[in-house]
A and B are shown apart, each in its own frame.
Chain A
Amino acid sequence: MSMMIIDILSWLLIIAGSFSMIVGGVGVLRLPDVYTRMHAASITDTLGAGTIIAGLILQAGISLIAAKLLLILIFIFFTSPAASFALAHAALSSGVEPILDSDLRSDEEKEKSP
């Protein structure tokens, strides 16, 4: 019985993780520029990877594999912000202008005015 509860819980976590991975991908396609797309990609790093690995840990039970999975999660949490920062910093210093709220608004106003 308790096995079944753990099984259901782990599959819920894995499905939630897969869903957030897909939404992250959709976000990368829908959002307008590099910086906003990075926000979508950071969903896959945190919620996506976190819930999928948590689900897999429940599947593995208390074992060496679970410890290894936990280690993967810890490394992702330490390295992914460094990689995101490097990417955003490189984009800004090589002159990629972020699209800001004021630009989006003026575009809409331009569309409305004629």
Chain B
Amino acid sequence: MGNRFIHSISLGAVLFAVWLVLSGHYTLLITTLGVISCAVVVSIMQRMDLIDQEGHPIHLTWRAFTYIPWLIIEIIKANIDVLKLILAPSLPVTPTLLRVKASQTSDLGQVIYANSITLTPGTISVDVANGEILVHALTRSGAEDLMGGEMDRRVTRMVGEDK
């Protein structure tokens, strides 16, 4: 119950921060209307029972700070690889379909892993079922990198399921 309260408060705070950034009008009347609209959204989400760890994963915030920079560096490296492939006159692509094991037990962890795979150019997740992700890779070496499982381990560590 207390957990739910914390989630509501932090959801309201995030919504209001987004409102502040997007609005740019800071008179008393307009800001009050902004606060009221955020409160209405939070109360609607509470009635729809959408406030939980899955929809608003605040427990991951701190660990995400180590995962996201690593992911950004991986994305840049993968981007450069794909850029070279496209610009190479012989177009040396070796498209591969493979299944990788997602060692995360929660839906949230698997979603983060599948989205990280898709966000990295050169690999796209096509299907998620039974703890396995069907991945389409642009090159065989990209597929082998993914089979190495470093991203899997890092996501598992981030969602705190590595015990």
Contact A67 B21 (CB under 8 A): yes
CA of A53 to CA of B116, assembled, Å: 20
Counting residue pairs across A and B whose Cβ atoms lie within 8 Å, the total is: 101
* Closest beta carbon of chain A to B151's beta carbon, Å: 13
Q: How many residues of B contact A (CB 8 A)?
A: 33
Q: Which residue of chain A has the shortest Cβ distance to B116 in the bound complex?
A: A81
CA of A31 to CA of B85, assembled, Å: 10
CA of A31 to CA of B83, assembled, Å: 12
B124 within 8 A of partner (CB):
yes
Contact B118 A85 (CB under 8 A): yes
Among B18, B21, B124, contact of A35 (Cβ-Cβ < 8 Å): B124
Which range holds the interface residue count of chain A? 35 or more
Knowing A98-B136, A101-B140, the reply to whether A47 touches B76 (Cβ < 8 A) is yes
CA of A35 to CA of B94, assembled, Å: 12
Scan residues 104-157 of chain B and give those whose CB is less than 8 A from a CB of chain A. 114-116, 118-119, 121-127, 134, 136, 138, 140
A88 within 8 A of partner (CB):
yes
Interface of A is mostly: helix
Q: Which residue of chain A has the shortest Cβ distance to B93 in the bound complex?
A: A36
Contact A23 B115 (CB under 8 A): no
Query: B residues within 8 A CB of A85?
Result: 114-115, 118, 124-126
* Closest beta carbon of chain B to A105's beta carbon, Å: 9
Contact A81 B22 (CB under 8 A): no
CA of A27 to CA of B88, assembled, Å: 11
Knowing A85-B118, A85-B124, the reply to whether A47 touches B75 (Cβ < 8 A) is yes
| Chain A contacts to B: CB under 8 angstroms | 20, 23-24, 26-27, 30-33, 35-36, 38-40, 42-43, 45-47, 64, 67-68, 71, 77, 80-82, 84-85, 88-89, 92, 98-101, 104
